[in-house]
Amino acid sequence: MKKIVFWGVFIQICILIALVSSASMTREPISEGNLSDLNGKWKGWRTVSGGNYRTEMEIYNDTLPLKGKFIFYDLQRRKKLGQTVVLEFKQGMIKDNNLYIKEGQNYFELSLYKDDGKMKLEGDFDSIGINGIITLNKK
């Protein structure tokens, strides 16, 4: 029971930290003029009902359509935790001033936030049968 309470409090603290950190950053509309900001490596977390899990993304180019990959660490598949899955994408687009990626049944819709030279992508995802929120910081 103590373990469950600890993890519940831990997850709430992580969510609170994410909310506070995004409050200080300014949302910036994504357009063809700032696609070069998205190019490169991003690291962060995906938050799902089971907790927070390490996630990386890399965008290879700065022209539409964007191409790259997501790396999901500690993925639970077929009742086995700890697997790593790489999801390549080739059709990253701009939709409603956000980065929109749809490959098969997987989709990601991420907003760009900037502050003091730091950048963050955050938004909703539904991938590999899992949905939640993803938060990635530019390396």
Q: What range defines the domain where residue 91 resides?
A: 2-138
Angle formed at CA 112 by CA 111 and CA 117, multiple of 5 degrees: 165
For residues 134 and 46, the answer to whether their CB atoms sit within 8 Å is yes
- Domain count within the chain: 1
* pLDDT of amino acid 74: 84
CATH number of residue 107's parent domain: 2.40.128.120
Tell me the CA distances in angstroms from 32 to 63, 65, 98, 114, one per residue in order.
7, 10, 11, 17
> 83: pLDDT confidence band, cut at 50, 70 and 90?
confident
* pLDDT of amino acid 54: 95
d(CA 102, CA 108): 7
* pLDDT of amino acid 11: 72
Residue 97 tokens read as 């001033």
* pLDDT of amino acid 87: 94
Across the chain, how many H-helices and E-strands are there?
1, 9
CA dihedral 23, 25, 26, 32 (to 10 degrees): -130
> Is the overall model pTM greater than 0.75, yes or no?
yes
Percentages helix, strand, coil for the chain (3-state, rounded to 5) are 20, 60, 20
> Tens of pLDDT along 27-82?
999 999 999 999 999 999 999 987 899 999 999 999 999 999 999 998 766 666 67
More confident site: 127 or 75? 127
